[in-house]
Amino acid sequence: MRSSCVLLTALVALAAYYIYIPLPSSVSDPWKLMLLDATFRSAQQVSNLIHNLGLSHHLLALNFIIVIFGKKSAWSSAQVKVTDTDFDGVEVRVFEGSPKPEEPLRRSIVYIHGGGWALASAKIRYYDELCTAMAEELNAVIISIEYRLVPKVYFPAQIHDVVRATKYFLQPEVLHKYSVDPDRIGISGDSAGGNLAAALGQQFTQDANLKNKLKVQALIYPVLQALDFNTPSYQQNVNTPILPRYVMVKYWVDYFQGNYDFVQAMIVNNHTSLDVEEAVALRARLNWTSLLPASITKDYKPVMQTTGDARIVQEIPQLLDARAAPLIAEQEVLRHLPKTYILTCEHDVLRDDGIMYAKRLESAGVQVTLDHFEDGFHGCMIFTSWPTNFSVGIRTRDSYIKWLDQNL
């Protein structure tokens, strides 16, 4: 009996050691976030083990775990009709809210899920619940795109998928089929989905046939650049769940089918050092010392290496491609973008990407709403139902839907 108690105590202590990580007191539901992070880390470790055994790519294994425990069938209710179909060969899940009697044509959002271009699905519970809530509360049609993922495809295939599906949807006969008002369509996405939404928006501004087709864009903690992994938010949140800096850099390398040997050098900005000529012209477009307010920059210092590793951008030139990094787009491209909503979270390495993009858009004459949550963390908006229900998740979702309701 005594030995059993000792063993149990030891197991509890080990579990507590594994779960506990120091978090700022201002973050929402810290113990629940620790449990969520521990669960995700465990799934990552299992997937890495499967990879090391040669059974599957670690991202395929990780996404299998995510989807197998979270997949949800297309289930309709009295308020929202849900169907799975494809738009020009791209799988989509369509959520149709009930039309208002006084408005026979409905608003619409094309939604792009997050997951580091490699994980998650439009068909898992988190995104199904979000899009259902949007369709019901906005009386709208939500098109959630099931784009292809790394490692089955790499940049720019994900962009091609969302562009192709959105172009198909914007055809007059398709809009008519879904009773959608062509003047009230927006694009949106979270994290890597926010990246793809921003890239899609920029691409549409440069297409004469698609210009002014989108009324709004709404970007939720978007990832927007890969030139500087030492912005104040990257420095402040280097180990913050559920997206530590090291993990974000690896997602970028995976997206471009790059070499993991470059990860540590990229973390210290060796890929955009002063001797890397390809990066020189782009630095001014994300100079955070001028784009961020003093309340954000605080005492943080820029990390700019004098000499670095020019091989990185030579082997991965996509790092400097505005399609991958919308924050570095030219001002002429930005000024044609629609009214924009950007949601950022304090405890997120990507916080400053969103804030800098908002500043650049404002300078280009775009009307921008920057919605910042001091207790938010990366990914929080999809965590709104038990057992992963966070107070900030509910508040971010409600604020996002409220903005769409007022502006779309």
Give catalytic residues, as residue numbers. 191, 348, 378
The answer to whether the CB of 193 falls within 8 A of the CB of 162 is no
Neighbour count for residue 197 (Cβ, 10 Å): 29
Pairing verdict, β 180-190 and 216-220: parallel
The answer to whether the CB of 348 falls within 8 A of the CB of 380 is no
The answer to whether the CB of 28 falls within 8 A of the CB of 392 is yes
For residues 309 and 56, give the distance between their C-alpha atoms in angstroms, rounded to a whole number: 31
Dihedral (C-alpha) 250, 152, 316, 318: value to the nearest 10 degrees? -100
Residue 102 burial (10 A CB sphere; 0-12, 13-18, 19+): exposed
Neighbour count for residue 172 (Cβ, 10 Å): 8
Q: How many angstroms separate the first and last alpha carbons of the chain?
A: 65
The answer to whether the CB of 119 falls within 8 A of the CB of 66 is yes
